[in-house]
């Protein structure tokens, strides 16, 4: 069954002094969901809206939308002109000569390939919107929505040569998949073979499809270097801490020198967050509590299941909240936050959010991927722990030394203001738009 919702207006209001821009995404913008992907979608949308009218066409899996009586109103308020939940299944028939295990490998490859194929309802809506609105620029959040809507093909061709096409490559598909496989090797007799074939196929599709874009935004210099061989123009559009305050910036919170509360904030539906918490609660937190009486770990995030809540709550010194109406109150009570993340793609926006709120953090090296300035800062603004023992020691030190953690937090806030500000985000988007439109005008002359 295909779930589809569309704004009743097929044509967006005519821009007074700007462009028409179509944003393709698999993650709806804030405030429909509270996570880093949604927040970046909102940031990209708002930066583009400085240049004209932005329509949003969304396509994704079941997590794209949440059940709500007023969903249609929310979509309309966000100018979502099409929303498609893709629930069709890949079709795969193993060759007659393939034994059972090899047939399973083929089916696994087919499942991963399927998300890089066009989805007819979304493709039809995309073509309709482009024909009616005459867009000046098309921007895709992630690679898959552009392929599923038919804007580009897995082979690297594009539906409309005359419209500049930008990819916001927040998570580079094959890098994220490769990191996940290395962190959690695929099991079974054919697991390693399936992993190699899937990773190769995703890499081949991604690198070819990328050729259809005029420009790609990535979140770090590491990701930019990884795309050098593709010869696609790139620029670093850093993740920044998101705020729904009209001023556009998170207000720092005064330090809490007397607290012994440690905070985790993250989407609990995401495997890197869940697995990281499993490891922290079972292997790290008991060691902290043994050395710091009264220490309390508060876990905040959407997507908490009753099973996980019971599991984590069984460890003494844990307070499993799940969804919290006010993150500000959670940060006010906390001494610092933790980011026990060992795999996953992109950059971890919750680290920046912590520093923006005026708290420091204990993080794994992986959680600082893409944040070289934070990683290399001297004196440090975060504590880096590369194993369980180091994590315990860092937590104990920060809980026991309020002046030290306060000084780290001040340095972190200053670095976020300097390097990860809304102004820098807008400057990068503005520069790309100017260059693309300049090139497009030259080609039409």
For 265-286, what is each residue's pLDDT tens digit?
998 988 899 999 999 999 999 9
Q: Which domains does the chain have, with CATH numbers?
A: 3-240+423-444 (3.40.50.2000), 261-420 (3.40.50.2000)
Question: In the predicted model, is pLDDT for residue 91 greater than 90?
Answer: no
Query: CB-hemisphere CA count at 13 Å for 328?
Result: 8
Helices 191-210 and 173-183: crossing angle in degrees, nearest 10, is 160
CB 294: neighbour CB atoms within 10 A? 10
The model's pTM:
0.84
Contact 26, 57 (CB under 8 A): no
**Phi, psi angles (nearest 5°) of residue 336:** -165, 175
Using CA atoms, how far apart are residues 56 and 79, in angstroms rounded to an integer? 6
Q: Which residue has the higher pLDDT, 438 or 333?
A: 333
Percentage of the chain with pLDDT > 70?
Answer: 91
- Please tell me the predicted confidence (pLDDT) of residue 144: 96
Give the H/E segment covering residue 432.
Answer: helix 422-444
Q: Which residue has the higher pLDDT, 346 or 232?
A: 232
Which contacts (CB < 8 Å, 24+ apart) does range 72-77 have?
Answer: 72/5, 74/32, 75/5, 75/7, 75/28, 76/7, 76/8
**Phi, psi angles (nearest 5°) of residue 159:** -75, -35
Pair of tokens at residue 280: 């922290």
- Please tell me the predicted confidence (pLDDT) of residue 183: 81
> pLDDT tens digits for 364-389?
999 998 898 999 999 999 999 999 99
DSSP sequence for 123-161: HHHHHHHHHHH--SEEEEESHHHHHHTTSB-TTS-BS-T
**Mean pLDDT along residues 326-348:** 90
Which residues on adjacent β-strands are paired with residue 58?
Answer: 25, 83
- Please tell me the predicted confidence (pLDDT) of residue 13: 54
How sure is the predictor about 1, in pLDDT bands with cuts at 50, 70 and 90?
A: very low
Rg over CA atoms, the chain? 23
* Exposure class string for 331-349: b at 16+ Cβ within 10 A, else e: bbebbbbbbbbbbbbbbbb
Which residues on adjacent β-strands are paired with residue 83?
Answer: 5, 58
């Amino acid at each position: 069954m295909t779930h589809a919702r569309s704004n009743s207006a097929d044509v967006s209001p005519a821009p007074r002094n700007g462009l028409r821009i179509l944003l393709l995404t698999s993650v709806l913008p804030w405030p429909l969901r509270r996570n880093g992907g949604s927040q970046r979608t909102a940031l990209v949308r708002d930066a583009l809206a400085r240049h004209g009218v932005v329509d949003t066409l969304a396509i994704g899996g079941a997590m794209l939308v949440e059940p709500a009586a007023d969903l249609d109103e929310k979509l309309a308020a966000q100018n979502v002109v099409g929303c498609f939940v893709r629930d069709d299944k890949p079709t795969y028939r193993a060759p007659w000569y393939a034994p059972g295990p090899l047939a399973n490998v083929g089916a696994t490859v087919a499942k991963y390939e399927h998300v890089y194929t066009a989805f007819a309802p979304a493709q039809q809506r995309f073509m309709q919107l482009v024909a009616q609105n005459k867009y000046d620029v098309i921007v895709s959040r992630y690679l898959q929505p552009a392929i599923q809507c038919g804007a580009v093909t897995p082979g690297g061709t594009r539906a409309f040569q005359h419209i500049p096409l930008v990819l916001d490559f927040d998570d580079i598909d094959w890098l994220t998949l490769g990191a996940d496989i290395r962190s959690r090797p695929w099991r079974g007799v054919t697991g390693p073979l399936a992993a190699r074939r899937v990773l190769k196929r995703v890499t081949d599709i991604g690198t070819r499809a990328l050729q259809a874009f005029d420009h790609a935004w990535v979140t770090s210099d590491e990701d930019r270097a990884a795309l050098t061989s593709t010869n696609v123009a790139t620029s670093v559009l850093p993740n920044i801490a998101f705020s729904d305050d009209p001023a556009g910036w998170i207000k720092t919170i005064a330090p809490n020198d007397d607290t012994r509360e440690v905070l985790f904030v993250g989407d609990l539906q995401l495997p890197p967050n869940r697995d990281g918490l499993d490891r922290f609660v079972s292997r790290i937190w008991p060691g902290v509590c043994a050395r710091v009486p009264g220490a309390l770990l508060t876990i905040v995030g959407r997507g908490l299941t009753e099973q996980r809540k019971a599991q984590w709550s069984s460890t003494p010194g844990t307070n499993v909240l799940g969804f919290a109406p006010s993150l500000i109150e959670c940060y006010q009570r906390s001494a610092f936050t933790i980011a026990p993340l060992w795999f996953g793609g992109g950059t971890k926006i919750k680290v920046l959010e912590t520093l923006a709120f005026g708290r420091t953090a204990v993080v794994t090296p992986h959680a600082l991927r893409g944040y070289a300035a934070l990683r290399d800062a001297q004196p440090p603004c975060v504590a880096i722990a590369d194993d369980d023992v180091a994590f315990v020691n860092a937590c104990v030190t920060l809980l026991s030394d309020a002046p030290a953690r306060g000084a780290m937090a001040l340095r972190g806030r200053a670095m976020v203001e300097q390097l990860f500000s809304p102004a820098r985000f807008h400057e990068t988007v503005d520069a790309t738009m100017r260059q693309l439109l300049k090139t497009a005008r030259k080609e039409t002359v």
